[in-house]
Amino acid sequence: MSSLSTYYGPSTVIRESGVWVTDGTRRICLFYTYKTATGILMYAACVYRCDNCHCCEGVIEPTLEEMEAHTQTAGRRFEMRPVIFQSKPDMPYHEIIKTIRREMCHGFGVKGPRGMSKLFSDECGDGDDSDGCDGSDGSEHEFLTDSEPAEETKETKETVFDWEKVFSKPTHKIRYIGTTSIESYHGQKISVDREFFIAFKGVKKTGEIIYAAAISRRPTYLGPLDDDAVREHFKTAMTRLEKAPVAMVISEEHRHQLKSKVPHREDVTYEIMDNIESRPGGRYLIKAQ
């Protein structure tokens, strides 16, 4: 009996809903549609960062409930605000996934601007309106995860930090919602949520930034922070930015995200969080020590 094989036709469309991808300590839930003939790719995603398991030197995988919550988030993003862009036609399966992951990290992020799904349903990319497919990322900083540790470069070591110039720049704010983990809280092992509220200033040309942060650590059963609590955490971060900022240099490939108006600052967020979680002396680096 002869073996079966498949190949793309002129109308082949690849779709997957709620597929999970492993990438280091991250677990990524994807929804996507790929038109093989034109290379038009539409996707949305939600990222889960696994905590380290100290007892077995592995990671703690997401629970079924956490997977379901991230799947719902990714599904809503796909319906309402997908990323749509022109990729290569006739990509094999593994290349489709790699292309999406690359765009998440270095391009469009986890979701796109509003209104893009209509362009896709109207055959975006076919005809004179194909330029409309160059969607930019409007992703917010909820559900973001941290990136690979930033490498220390020669440029980082030798930079003479221009404090005066950095201080003259406008202040930007980031709310980074971390993962949920089982921790000791007032003598009990319970589910705890940790969020980071970051204020920073940066210079696009050199990548020099200063930042400070505040951390919310609270039991999951208490639910989301209210608006007053969010404002207080950002107020704390702003005060620390004025009195005890941390200085660092953003990688050259991500410095464009330090402009005043950009679709997203995902990679800048990743680099700042890497610095915070470097924990010199065992403490989060949220202000100058």
3-state helix, strand, coil in the chain (%, to 5): 30, 30, 40
Same domain, yes or no, for 159 and 265? yes
Query: Given this model, what pLDDT does residue 113 score?
Result: 62
As averages over each run of 10 residues, the pLDDT of the chain (289 residues) reads 85 96 92 92 91 74 93 91 84 95 81 56 40 32 34 40 84 87 85 93 93 92 90 94 88 91 90 88 83
Query: Given this model, what pLDDT does residue 211 score?
Result: 94
Is there a contact between 109 and 266 (Cβ–Cβ < 8 Å)? yes
Structure-token pair, residue 24: 């280091």
Domain boundaries, position 54: 13-133
Per the structure, the count of domains in the chain is 2
Q: With respect to residue 27, please indicate whether it lies within any of the assigned structural domains.
A: yes
Q: With respect to residue 211, please indicate whether it lies within any of the assigned structural domains.
A: yes
Q: With respect to residue 1, please indicate whether it lies within any of the assigned structural domains.
A: no
At 40, phi and psi to the nearest 5? -70, 125
Q: With respect to residue 289, please indicate whether it lies within any of the assigned structural domains.
A: no
For the chain, give the longest Cα–Cα distance.
76
